[in-house]
Structure 1
Amino acid sequence: MGGSTDAGTAEDTGSDTEPLVTVVVTTYDRPSYLLDCVESVLAQTYEPIELVVVDDCSDTPASETLADVDTDSLAAYRCVRHGTNRGVNAARNTGVEAGTGTYVAFLDDDDRWVPEKVERHVEAFEAADEDVGVVYSGTKAIHEDGAREELPPRIDGDLTKALLCRNVVGSMSVVMVRADLAREVQFDEEFEAWADLEWFVRVSQRAAFVRLPEALVVYEYTSHGRLSDDFEKKRRGYDSFLDRFDGVAASYGRPFRRKMRAWAAFRAGSSALYTGNYGEARRLLFTAVVRYPLEPRFLAYLLASLGGRSTHLLARGLSRSLG
């Protein structure tokens, strides 16, 4: 994939009884987050783990950031660096290609895992039917006003219809996937935003999902530089998502196609609202309401956008007080 290996250790790639898990950590210019992230991998209760850190051309190479980290407990460790900044999807593809495990688990550099994360996922895989390709869990979300668990709705099996409307899985950090499936369904390196959801949809067309009823990932909404903060990329993601999956949605019938397009408009509109692009928010949220008026939150968000910053702040205050 055009990367270079900076470091690698360990020859043992697994035991006779437990499958090797490849953990792919993708990173770009967040050394302090990266250290905490990798420490959470080293603290896992499961063995054997192969850690692949993919550095997407950070100013400070990840190999330097992690130089003093003790990785002896791992079955294998390697740090791969891209020669140019190519984006998170390219980094994930590089990590999958470099790995040798039976399963692949992804971890963004500003997220952390609880110690039982990998163990619980492997247990679920080993107990699952052969058609299961992905196991996912909930998150412990850290907001400015405190922490709370966020568990996706309990949906197992074929998730395609659900994912066409909503990301019912979460971020890449909550999933573990069969390695053969990850190699078969590569990440689209041209997809700038909604990349996780886009990949989940394509994977769901080939394999079933199983959800663990636990919050096993620590996700900090206060982290800087998250892709969700960039509305222009979200706007382009909206167009790309509709272009790619409009036909898939239409195969479920015209009413569902309208519903899918409404949810896409809502995701883009809520992002516009969050980033203060109130004109775009009103337009997109109005589109969502017109296409699918049966979803109450579409109207609620539209009303919050009508007065710009003042009504948005009022709605957020009411939401916090009621929550």
Structure 2
Amino acid sequence: MTPQSTIVIPTYNREATISRAIDSVLEQTVDDYEIVIVDDGSEDSTQEEIEEYNDNRIRYIEHEENRGQNVARNTGLRAAKGTYISYLDSDDVLLPQHLEKVVTKLGELSNEYAGVVTGYEDVIGREETPQPGYDGRITYENLIRDMYDKIGGLSLLTFRADILDDIGLHDEDVVNSTDLDFYLQMLEEYDLYGIDEVLCRRFKQTDSVSMDAELVAKGEKTILSKHGNKLTPENRAKRRYNRGIALAELGEMREASKAFRGCIQDYPYGILYYYHFAISLLGEKIFRQLAIYPYIRDWHPQNIGL
């Protein structure tokens, strides 16, 4: 029998959190679903944690080596049997009414909508912070304008499986900002609908992809190459800024300076772009002492209390 929903959980070295993610699905107020877990070459006890579950709704797929988030997601999509597909990162959790509410809303929407995006809260240590979300229609223009001000990661997304015939799978060359890339890919063909209610908790981990400076630098370069001409100048400058900060963290000060110069060219009204361009010319040590991080919410250590 075809399940109504498939929850795709890509994971890599998440022995400490994978059970929490799975439990949050098993605690849903509806039970017509399957869970497809794609283990992207974990080297810890992630597999052993999953094998503790005796539930025929759980399917486990293993990559022999680590191949990246989008490869793991595509493996999950190819295996999914549900009418609707939800994502859940293996360090996040769904609140109990998540599936019930998103499936109900999807049943009310016309086919011009690809899916729904829920509200969420960020969890850092013991602090839970609700984030502002969309309420109602989300268009391509909304996302280009608002970027991450009102939309979060893919753990918030549930969409109709049949749209994949139109939009395709994830771009496996994208290694960071994979969520933004997929949202833009989807919104080029369809609209989304925002449910402005906290139905997911996103836990910040010190080893997440969004906190890996090398992947941030590479990922922002890919996003700018693919979507830069579509972004507003202000948002394009912010992404260059993210790349500049990541490059500086890697000690690549010449490339960091180029990125900050690009920020100024895109959006010459940002005082901090001039500031960081100037201090990037003074070398890595001074830059680390003087840099300010207003846009880097996810990956920079100082934003998670390290």
TM-score (norm 1): 0.77
Between 1:299-308 and 1:207-216, the stretch displaced more is 299-308
Using the aligned pairs only, state the percent identity: 23
How far did residue 277 of structure 1 move? 5.8
Aligned to 1:233: 215
**Residue in 2 aligned with 1:56?**
40
The one of 272, 295, 299 equivalent to 2:271 is 299
In the other structure, the counterpart of 2:282 is none
Alpha-carbon distance change, 164 to 85 in structure 1, aligned in 2, over 3 angstroms: farther
Task: Describe the shift of the 1:310–1:155 C-alpha distance in structure 2 as closer, same or farther (beyond 3 A).
Answer: farther
1:162-181 residue pairs with structure 2 within 5 A? 162-163=143-144, 166-167=147-148, 168-181=150-163
1:121 matches 2:102: yes
Q: CA deviation at 1:310?
A: 4.0
2:2 maps to which residue?
A: 13
Report if aligned partners of 2:241, 2:259 keep a CA contact under 8 Å in 1. yes
Give CA-to-partner distance per residue, 1:154-210, whole Å, 9 cap, x none. 472322463377234211111111111245420111212121111111111011011
Aligned to 2:287: 308
Change (3 A) 1:315 1:214: closer
In 1: Cα distance, 2:182 partner to 2:138 partner: 16
Please give the alpha-carbon distance, in whole angstroms, between the structure 1 residues aligned to 2:88 and 2:196. Answer: 19
Cα 1:301–1:292, aligned 2, differ >3 Å: closer, same or farther?
A: closer
Q: Secondary structure at the match of 1:64?
A: helix
Report SS of the residue matched to 2:103: helix
The AA in structure 2 aligned to 1:308 is F
Change beyond 3 A, Cα 1:161–1:213: closer
Mapped partners of 2:265, 2:106: distance in 1: 41
Partner AA of 1:13 in structure 2: T
Unaligned segments of structure 1, at least 5 residues: 1-11, 15-19, 250-255
Show the counterpart of 1:46: 30
1:211 aligns with 194
Distance in 1, Cα, partners of 2:182 & 2:217: 18
1:83-110 deviations in whole A, cap 9, x for unaligned? Answer: 2221111110111111111110011111
The aligned counterpart of 2:177 is: 194
- Answer yes or no: is the 8 Å Cα contact 1:57–1:84 preserved in 2: yes
**AA in 1 matched with 2:195:** L
Give the one of 121, 142, 146 matched to 1:140: 121
Structure 1 CA distance, aligned partners of 2:186 and 2:58?
A: 27
Number of residue pairs aligned between Structure 1 and Structure 2: 287
Contact 2:264 2:273 in 1 (8 A): no
Alpha-carbon distance in structure 2 between the residues aligned to 1:272 and 1:100: 41
User: In 1, are the aligned partners of 2:144 and 2:232 still within 8 Å (CA)?
Assistant: no
1:84 aligns with 2:56: no
- CA drift of 1:124 comes to 1.6
CA distance in 1, matches of 2:52, 2:99: 24
Once the two structures are overlaid, the 10-residue window that deviates more, 155-164 or 109-118, is 155-164
- Does the CA contact (< 8 Å) of 2:5 and 2:83 recur in 1? yes
Alpha-carbon distance, 1:267 to partner? 3.4
Specify the code of the residue in structure 2 equivalent to 1:147.
Answer: E
Question: Does structure 1 conserve the Cα–Cα contact (< 8 Å) formed by 2:11 and 2:38?
Answer: yes
1:110 aligns with 2:88: no
1:288 shift after superposition: 2.2
Separation in 2, partners of 1:50, 1:98? 11
Match of 2:283 in 1: none
For structure 2, the 5+ residue unaligned runs are 280-285, 296-301
1: distance between equivalents of 2:21 and 2:236? 36
Asked if residue 265 in structure 1 is aligned to residue 209 in structure 2, the reply is no
State TM-score, norm by structure 2.
0.81
The 1:219/1:122 distance shift into structure 2, 3 A limit, reads same
